[in-house]
Structure 1
């Protein structure tokens, strides 16, 4: 945890002393804060399975996505009181509780800014009997050096590749270097865990699964992302997400102030197949409303 004294745990390299309560871009001090922990059934089939993914949502974020569907806990957590600070032991206990509930895995959502707190808790939980796979579910804006520090603790990497266009990263996520950062991140993740591996029941046990949220009127960005993934490995498992809807501040940006059309989604899924990316998860456009959570409720997601 001494790394938090001059914080460089993500690409922001804020260099604040979080141990003394100083706040950087993520606005999270030394203690990890979570907004929700429970079984989640809305992930890709190898992650959710039949019992659900043991999902732990961290508060705060190192991006400022204007369309964030989790904005209540990523951006407005200080206002809504929808977060609680946990010690290492308490976070480890949450993991063990989810395992006892039957979770197929422990799925950390938005861990990039609390990567070392997460790592300490994983070690503690494993010492107490945690055996299910660990999923690192990030926005892709990670520090390669931090990922190297946690090598061996993560079984499944589940990152986004949001942009390979720095102007989009700047405009929509306050990350003008996102497109420079994410290729190295995905290469490191693949080097650590390899392609996605599943057991006889179709559950992920190890490997890399990359998500790409297709934005309306940004199809060239999607094509760039898919070309990179095909170059990374034609065996890459990719989840082509159709669920975009203009949440949070997206109404201020006319270009993305609408949902995705079927024609746009079909164009990108066809392009992925043309590139040889056959390990693709495809969604129905009806997921656009179903996937929007409300973290003010005890059960934020409604999957019927």
Structure 2
């Protein structure tokens, strides 16, 4: 915060939720607290954080159970994520920005568009538009295939411009006006960390 951070971004912090709830009840930072997660969250856990988190930044990956099972081995992801999003929206459905246009409170739902899966993305947009009309939505074009994907060959490529535009155009046609979009250049391996603990462990 002293160095000018706009927020405290807690990435996938679920396993520390109990400790975070205890801490944030004792110390509330002067900048927003962001809960950045996969969306695969227990609604009960989120209720414990009510009033302590300023911005929820969840993914909504899948709306179809077969896709969730095939790609993430989590068949119940859609139902779990839907309940989690409902709880997040209940807590932070009203968005607030500061004088510089930086979010202070609210919710941004991220959706990573996958190749050969745009119909699922459209269903996700229908759900979000109906259930969470005041939430912001980030439509991500950054899917980058890695390693051996022979078991799921449809994922062994980046999404095309046509696929991405199909989803963006659908959102606009629904009247959604709180969306963030990306350029195709975001799908690049240079944005993927080496995960070798560089800068973390000496």
Structure 1 residue corresponding to 2:40, chosen from 135, 141, 144: 141
TM-score (norm. length: structure 1):
0.62
- Report Cα offsets for 1:72-122 as digits up to 9, x if no partner: xxxxxxxxxxxxxxxxxxxxxxxxxxx122110000111223321332333
Structure 2 residue corresponding to 1:293, chosen from 188, 193, 202: 193
Structure 2 residue corresponding to 1:118, chosen from 1, 20, 38: 20
Structure 2 residue corresponding to 1:132, chosen from 21, 28, 31: 31
Shift of 1:141: 0.4
Cross-structure match for 1:228: 127
- Structure 1 residues 179 and 249: alpha-carbon distance in aligned structure 2, compared to 1, 3 A threshold: farther
Cross-structure match for 1:175: 74
Asked if structure 2 preserves the Cα contact closer than 8 Å seen for 1:112 and 1:141, the reply is no
Superposed, 1:16-31 pairs within 5 Å as none
Shift of 1:195: 3.4
SS at match of 1:240: strand
Asked if structure 2 preserves the Cα contact closer than 8 Å seen for 1:133 and 1:155, the reply is yes
Asked if structure 2 preserves the Cα contact closer than 8 Å seen for 1:190 and 1:208, the reply is yes
Structure-2 separation of matches of 1:229 and 1:221: 12
- Structure 1 residues 250 and 205: alpha-carbon distance in aligned structure 2, compared to 1, 3 A threshold: farther
SS at match of 1:200: coil
Asked if structure 2 preserves the Cα contact closer than 8 Å seen for 1:234 and 1:276, the reply is no
Shift of 1:294: 2.5
- Report Cα offsets for 1:17-46 as digits up to 9, x if no partner: xxxxxxxxxxxxxxxxxxxxxxxxxxxxxx
Cross-structure match for 1:203: 102
SS at match of 1:153: coil
* Unaligned residue ranges in structure 2 (runs of 5+): none
Shift of 1:212: 0.3
Structure 2 residue corresponding to 1:159, chosen from 53, 58, 71: 58
Structure-1 separation of matches of 2:14 and 2:71: 18
Shift of 1:286: 0.2
Asked if structure 2 preserves the Cα contact closer than 8 Å seen for 1:236 and 1:277, the reply is no
Structure 1 residue corresponding to 2:3, chosen from 101, 118, 125: 101
Shift of 1:149: 1.1
Structure-2 separation of matches of 1:240 and 1:154: 23
| Count of residue pairs the alignment pairs up | 198
Asked if structure 2 preserves the Cα contact closer than 8 Å seen for 1:195 and 1:209, the reply is no
Structure-2 separation of matches of 1:269 and 1:281: 9
Superposed, 1:51-66 pairs within 5 Å as none
* Unaligned residue ranges in structure 1 (runs of 5+): 1-98, 300-304
